[in-house]
Amino acid sequence: MLPGQGKFGIIISRIPVMQSGLKAIIGEHLPDYELSFCRSQDELTLLQLRRAVLVIADLSGEIEHPRSICEHYYALMTQYRDIYWVFMVGNTCFPLAVQLLMRPESTLISDSEPVKRLIEVVRAEVVRQVQLGSRAGLDAHEIGRAHV
């Protein structure tokens, strides 16, 4: 893997301040990542999904059709298995999200959990990427640049 490859993330939230906050968190803990932003999963492009290794989706607050949204994300997860998915989920759709979105390549975070939990998940993603990178033949210098 060449430096800079495989370091693309997508933040999905309909709330601009949430996008800004997530951008700041990811920027601090994954500074080498390029980020893209969408207001909903319907705005995702094939190019974004093919490049992404991380998606953070905000499913907090009131969601009109939680089942269809969770089913859409489930379909994307089965199609794009190289992406690590982080779902920030509100209480109204948490049971449904557990049923459809809980997988080895995803993490569900309740919207009532502290930001510290999201940071822990992001840091775990750094470790996972470093491990994948070392298996792909990255040199020690590139691996050492990960901020854990």
pLDDT tens digits, the chain, 148 residues: what are they?
A: 444 456 899 999 999 999 999 999 999 888 889 999 999 999 999 999 999 999 999 998 878 889 999 999 999 999 999 999 999 999 888 999 999 999 999 999 998 898 889 889 888 877 777 777 655 544 444 434 443 3
Q: What is the pTM of this model?
A: 0.83
- CB-count burial class (<10 Å; 0-12, 13-18, 19+) for 141: exposed
DSSP code for 6? T
